[in-house]
Amino acid sequence: MKLPLHLGIHCHQPVENFYHVVDHAVEKSYLPYFKTALLNDKFKFSIHYSGWLLEYIKKNHSELFSLMGDAVSSGQAEFFTGGYYEPVLASIPGKDRREQIKMLNGFIENNFKVSPKGLWLTERVWDSSIIPDCAECGVEYVIVDDYHFITAGFYESMLHGHFITEQDGYEMLIFPISEKLRYLTPFKPAEDVVDYLKEVADSGGKSLTIFDDGEKFGLWPETYEWVYEKGWLKDFINAVCDSDAAEFALFEDTVKTQKPAQIAYLPTGSYFEMGEWSLFSERTENMEKLVKELGDKYTDDTIKVFVKGGIWKNFLVKYPESNRIHKRTTTLSKRANKLNDASLLESLYKAQCNDVLWHGIFGGLYLPNLRNNAYRFIIEAEKRLEEVEGIALPAVETGDFDYDGYDEAYIRSDAANYMFASRDCGQLVALEDKDNLFNFANTLARRKEAYHEKLFAEPKPEASNEQPESAVESVATIHDTKTKVDEEYRKYLVFDWHNKNCFIDHFVPKFEAEDFEDVTFKELGDFANQPAQMKKGKDSVTFTRKGGIYSEGYKHNVTLKKTFKALKSGLSFEIDISSEVQEVTYVMELNLHFNDMANTLINGNKISERITEKNDTYSINDKSTPKGVSIVFNDQVEMHAYTVKTLSQSESGADLTDQGICLLIPFRINGGKSVKGKISIG
């Protein structure tokens, strides 16, 4: 009997990703894969496409959608289910989890006349708490990494088959994805893959599984030429079909003919790299060093038993911006599921899409358009919630909306919403245009990432460069692709020690705009990242902090009081400062987000042109965002601005991304100061 080889592709695009990006993925990966796959009816494979992507393909790429149907109806392919909008299942409430799986089941059943029994686990994030919900949706088997088993103590040699687990009496079969196959397929010659299959078959293996990103087949760097133009996929299919040791198989057939190897219980986790990425940067660097040092003494699977990174949910700790989006959906879910309104639930489920909540080798959270989409659906859902619940506006809600132990205040009005964080001294963390579903406070702080220095390192020569000219070709995986970033970009490695919100309170000896841009200013106060007491009014909220200014070893008492009130045309603000220090500069910092920050104007001037004249009204806008932001002060003030840029790792090497516009307004105070004004969207 030949070794069953389960090959599956997982394909996903973030909800409402740029359409040209999706079209490119279809052209270079999804369509040529199916065209090649259907040339050989002995090629059995599994398919997982997220629901939104299937919708888009059905509407815009009928040829591909038709080929999917042909593959399933002929018995060549098996569809897998999952969350419709690709949420990390362990990160959303159980009812949402069940409904999203049922939605994708329904789409597959209606369009392809089959009921999926297998489930693709988003980002392979495993938590046994999902088992009962999956089982109730008809799921019989789930795909995880072999790394999950290794961390539980299994040996790699034990993982050539499938297993059974349970939670609260609900059974679930689990198939481990072979890490070795993940790095062979499609990056090494087909003969290398077949040799490994024979090795496993000869050792008594029962089956092998490779289930990975479909984008590896044509969309990742250099893979289109390798997989299709040079014929890797065709050669691979033929090589396996001609093999005496292995054959392609569907999961649904294997579970009918083979019993699970044994029971297994897996710890919460994802793949190894995800564990590294979810740690704070210094921890990631230390983990990489430790693994490298241990590599001289121990085998790879031995190291992975004892050396683990963080868990996926640690991204919500690492990035407050991620946590804020996630908790907005969590709070929405509690209320939406009581109402059972279809429009409201659809917006909620779209907002649960995972991509914007984390950052690894791809942009994720660092991509402003993905954050824009998340807020679009959150604002849309909350607008519908106001309609269904009949909330009278303006309204002020308070509570710990982001689950950080401190209350937030949410002021809702007809045209805009405003959210404030008491944990950050009453800073504005949401400035939302309800007409256009846009959050002008959708910014991102600049943080040190473990990969930053690696971006500037010289690429190490590949071992293949030392091979003879007759050596067979291969391509690098995306984890091994090295592109050196120009040293000119090093100036963008500037890291903020506080969140980049609006109405941040700084106290400095002297104001220099450049010092704020490169974060070399001397902070004297304890307000920019410290909590304040919050008091709710009928249509307003007030924050008070009794803090201090620290100089020459002494603390000088300072009381800061900030009051925000909803107006018909915006939000008024009043900031009152009482200080024992006579000579100090107070700097109000606001960070705003627009669609085209490179071409954002302040009173008609480009951001690159520093604002030096005094004015009492500042209008900030660009041509790509439907509305702009206006800030009016009671007196003339001087404003300085710069574009906040981040340098982040990406599949192409590195991306320099505009994350926000930072506005700085300095005030010289002599014992006290009162700053009044209004901020509005229009």
- Of the listed 16, 86, 96, 123, which one is catalytic? 123
Q: What is the mean pLDDT of the chain?
A: 94
Active-site residue flag, 136: no
CA–CA distance, 107 with 99 (Å, rounded to integer): 12
Of 481, 542, 509, 492, which Cα lies nearest the Cα of 648? Answer: 492
Q: What is the pLDDT of residues 644-668, one digit of tens each?
A: 999 998 877 789 999 999 999 999 9
Residue 314: alpha-carbon gap to chain centroid: 12
Q: What is the pLDDT of residues 335-387, one digit of tens each?
A: 999 998 999 999 999 999 999 999 998 899 999 999 999 999 999 999 999 99
pLDDT above 50 for 467: no
Of 272-281, 471-480, 575-584, where does mean pLDDT reach its minimum? 471-480
Of 219, 212, 218, which Cα lies nearest the Cα of 232? Answer: 218
Q: Return the bridge partners of 664, or none.
A: 589, 640
- HEC profile of 101-134: HHHHHHHHHHHHCCCCCEEECHHHCECHHHHHHH
Q: Side chain identity at 345, as an amino acid letter?
A: L
pLDDT the model gives residue 481: 54
Residue 62 φ/ψ, nearest 5 degrees = -65, -30
Residue 20: alpha-carbon gap to chain centroid: 20
Locus of tokens 């509570």: 399
Dihedral angle of Cα 58, 60, 61, 65, to the nearest 10 degrees: 0
pLDDT above 70 for 469: no
Q: What is the pLDDT of residues 395-446, one digit of tens each?
A: 999 999 999 999 999 999 999 999 999 999 999 999 999 999 999 999 999 9
pLDDT above 60 for 610: no
pLDDT above 90 for 582: no
pLDDT the model gives residue 608: 67
Sign of CA dihedral 470, 471, 474, 477: negative
CA–CA distance, 564 with 394 (Å, rounded to integer): 13
CA–CA distance, 211 with 185 (Å, rounded to integer): 10
Contact in structure between 265 and 128 (CB atoms under 8 Å): yes
- Of the listed 55, 109, 192, 213, which one is catalytic? 213
pLDDT the model gives residue 51: 98
Contact in structure between 495 and 519 (CB atoms under 8 Å): yes
**What count of residues does the chain have?**
682
| 607 — pLDDT class (breaks 50, 70, 90) | confident
pLDDT above 90 for 119: yes
- HEC profile of 338-380: HHCCHHHHHHHHHHCCCHHHCCCCCCHHHCHHHHHHHHHHHHH
Q: What is the pLDDT of residues 508-564, one digit of tens each?
A: 999 999 999 999 999 999 999 999 999 999 999 999 999 999 988 899 999 999 999
pLDDT the model gives residue 463: 43
Cβ neighbours around 215 below 10 Å, total: 21
pLDDT the model gives residue 49: 98
What is the DSSP-derived secondary structure letter of residue 538?
Answer: S
Query: Strand 533-536 and strand 118-120: pairing?
Result: unpaired
Of 538, 523, 651, 539, which Cα lies nearest the Cα of 589? Answer: 523
CA–CA distance, 580 with 556 (Å, rounded to integer): 6
CA–CA distance, 143 with 78 (Å, rounded to integer): 14
pLDDT the model gives residue 465: 38
Can you tell me the mean pLDDT for 592-598? 95
- HEC profile of 571-595: EEEEEEEEECCCCEEEEEEEEECCC
Element (H, E) at 240: helix 232-241
Of 354, 12, 32, which Cα lies nearest the Cα of 186? Answer: 32
Of 39, 33, 35, which Cα lies nearest the Cα of 7? Answer: 33
Assign 306 to helix, strand or coil: helix
Q: How much of the chain, in percent, has pLDDT values that exceed 90?
A: 89
Assign 229 to helix, strand or coil: helix
Sign of CA dihedral 92, 95, 101, 107: negative
Top-confidence residue, 458 or 622: 622
Can you tell me the mean pLDDT for 44-60? 98
Active-site residue flag, 651: no
**Do you find a cis peptide bond into 394, omega within 30 degrees of 0?**
yes
pLDDT the model gives residue 301: 84
pLDDT above 50 for 471: no
Residue 118: alpha-carbon gap to chain centroid: 25
pLDDT the model gives residue 458: 80
| 457 — pLDDT class (breaks 50, 70, 90) | confident
Can you tell me the mean pLDDT for 235-245? 97
Q: Return the bridge partners of 630, or none.
A: 619, 680
Q: How far is CA 130 from CA 70, 336, 412, 490, 583, in A?
A: 32, 21, 35, 43, 59
Top-confidence residue, 458 or 68: 68
Burial track 84-119 (b if 16+ CB lie within 10 A, e otherwise): bbbbbbbbbeeebbbbbbebbbebbeebbebebbbb
